[in-house]
Amino acid sequence: MALTALDARTALVVIDLQRGIAAAPTQPYGGPEVVARAAELADAFRARDLPVVLVRVSFAPDRADRVPGRTEQQGPGGGYPEGWDVIVDELSGHPGDIHVTKHNWGAFHGTDLDVQLRRRGVTQIVLTGIATSIGVESTARAAYEHGYHVTVAADAVADITPEAHANSVERIFPRLGETGTAQEILRLLAETHG
């Protein structure tokens, strides 16, 4: 699907680009590539006074706030290293950004993301981040269910495996909205928002 439009009140929502996640090996793009493209998008959104939302996942030291339930595949065991949940330097330090901390895969459940977006009149979100099939896809699904127009910067998301990334980009995201490259989004942003 081709990228067709950006609404007047579009927000950039950056998923889990934090030190511990952006440093992990990802496919088909490495963390530094995803971070660089997300930072370029964030700068363009900020220059046009459009909201930038930095979402991070974090847990209490005792991990009591993790989602319970039996799963066949377990997440990382043990604790997390100090600073793993800090937003990467390339995206941090902008006082006007909205910060959301989640304890689930998706950025809507159990957070004030929807309230923050609606108070600003946002009708569309552009998503970027890691991992494509987990945090990004979960957030895209919830955004669609909440009535937002959804756009995914397909070259500014990455996953643990290329198969998981491809499944989301090729099969899931086209059913939830539109996809485009970071450059296509930047070009459309310049055309429609000056």
Using CA atoms, how far residue 131 sits from 39, 61, 83, 157, 194, in Å, is: 17, 23, 19, 7, 31
pLDDT exceeds 60 at position 76: no
Q: What is the mean pLDDT of the chain?
A: 93
CA neighbor of 11 nearest in space, from 121, 107, 111, 174: 121
Query: What residues contact residue 130 under an 8 Å CB cut-off, 6+ apart?
Result: 15, 16, 17, 21, 22, 24, 26, 31, 34, 136, 157, 158, 159
**Under CATH, which number does the domain 10-60+84-193 receive?**
3.40.50.850
Average pLDDT, integer, range 39-54: 98
Can you give the pTM of this predicted structure? 0.94
Confidence of residue 64 (pLDDT cuts 50, 70, 90): low
Per-residue pLDDT at 74: 64
Domain ranges of the chain: 10-60+84-193
In the prediction, which pLDDT does 75 show?
60
pLDDT at 66 exceeding the cut of 80? no
Rounded mean pLDDT, 141-156:
98
Per mean pLDDT, which range of 1-15, 61-75, 120-134, 155-169 is the poorest? 61-75
